[in-house]
Amino acid sequence: EVQLQAFGGGSVLAGGSLRLSCAYSGFNFADYAIAWFRQAPGKEREGVACISARTMNGRISYADSVKGRFTISSDGAKNLVYLQMNSLQPEDTAVYYCGAVKGPVWCTMVSRTYAYWGQGTLVTVSS
């Protein structure tokens, strides 16, 4: 059974940093694309960063709004995908989710691409 769980959220001041983790189980990371999304109150879920399946060379993509500030990475030994978030701003406040999809696919920022989702973790950035 594919399972994902995001954790590591919290409250920080603008300019601060957080590292989110997505713990995954039930699948071979090499065969899946994994992405981070976020959803702010009253807004649609938006893609933040994603990493393609290793069978697609693990290509990484970022939303323009987070380029240069956020970094996605993985630790296969620990079954974790990280989202390092630096220079956080109030507009980064949202519930952050990780999603996964099987196949030799490029990752995308389109939420309907992903078949599996974990529970989100709340990030609050105050000015």
Each residue of 1-20: pLDDT tens digit? 999 999 999 999 999 999 99
pLDDT digits (tens, 9 = 90+) for 62-81: 999 999 999 999 998 999 99
Identity (one letter) of the amino acid at 80? L
Q: Per-residue pLDDT for 95 more than 90?
A: yes
Q: Per-residue pLDDT for 58 more than 90?
A: no
d(CA 6, CA 19) in angstroms, rounded, equals 11
Using the CB atoms, write b or e for 91-114: b if 16+ within 10 Å: ebbbbbbbbbbeeeeebbbebebb
